[in-house]
Amino acid sequence: MENIENAPFLREMVDTASNLYRLGWDERNGGNISYLLSEAEVADYLDVNHVLRRIPMDFDGSALAGKYFLVTGSGKYFKNVAKAPAENLGLIRIAAAGDGVEILWGYSDGGVPTSELPSHLMSHIARLSVNPKNRVVMHCHATHLLAMTFTHDLDERAFTRTLWQMCTECLVVFPDGVGVVPWLIPGTNEIGMATSDKMKETRLVVWPHHGIYGAGETMDETFGLIETAEKAAQVYTIVCAQGPIRQTISDRQLAELGESFGVEPKAGYLDLVRED
């Protein structure tokens, strides 16, 4: 079999983790990624019948039973992923009963998947229910988005509108808006359920004073989704520092933008009647 460290899906994970660390969005062990893979992809590199370890899980993952995921490890530093993939990443399969995971590769120092695994799996379930092509869930501490949660209204509509107004591309990239959950303890099923509820309607979910979750069909799409929202948050930060806003993209212009690119802004988020 081929060396799994040369697998395209593993190189994608390594490159993305390295970029997240480079940008300062995943300091220390402050982030996690899960990548849904097909058995055909995995079987080129591993004997899928050879289970290294089994780990119980306090979450009913039966909806994903038999599914394969490449997942970052608990307590692992993103800066180390590139130089030691087998130690910092793992390839797992959700057990048939949905009550645990089977490690097929990785976590070579005895490690385990991220403590946020239940949140990831819940979000995968939610996204797959609306988009069967969804494969990636990504969590990071994008700096300016995190900062916005201290100074901006946390109402989802208001938060989304501000981001849309900061960069022309934002409405095109995330017309479904940004979800916001209350502050909750990370690593719990409670925050996982709150996040997955939002994921049924949007691919971006903000965790106030913590970070953001993103989901998408590919690693690039998901990274780019967060990257675009973060750029808008950075522009917002600079605008606030410069002084009062004198002009911005109007709701009518946002509607025209959506029509031009064939995307539908989230219902009720544009005040078109007031502009008329």
Give the C-alpha separation, 269 to 252, whole Å. 12
Q: Is 210 annotated as a binding residue?
A: yes
Q: Is 152 annotated as a binding residue?
A: no
Residues 6+ apart with CB under 8 A from 88: 17, 72, 73, 76, 77, 78, 80, 81, 106, 111
- Would you call 53 helix, strand, or coil by DSSP? strand
CA dihedral 194, 195, 199, 200 (to 10 degrees): -20
Residues 6+ apart with CB under 8 A from 209: 146, 149, 150, 183
Give the C-alpha separation, 158 to 149, whole Å. 12
Q: Is 144 annotated as a binding residue?
A: no
> Is 190 assigned a catalytic role?
no
Catalytic residue among 12, 116, 156, 227: 116
Residues recognised as catalytic? 116
Which amino acids are annotated as binding site, given as ranges? 139, 141, 210
Which amino acids are annotated as binding site for Zn(2+), given as ranges? 139, 141, 210
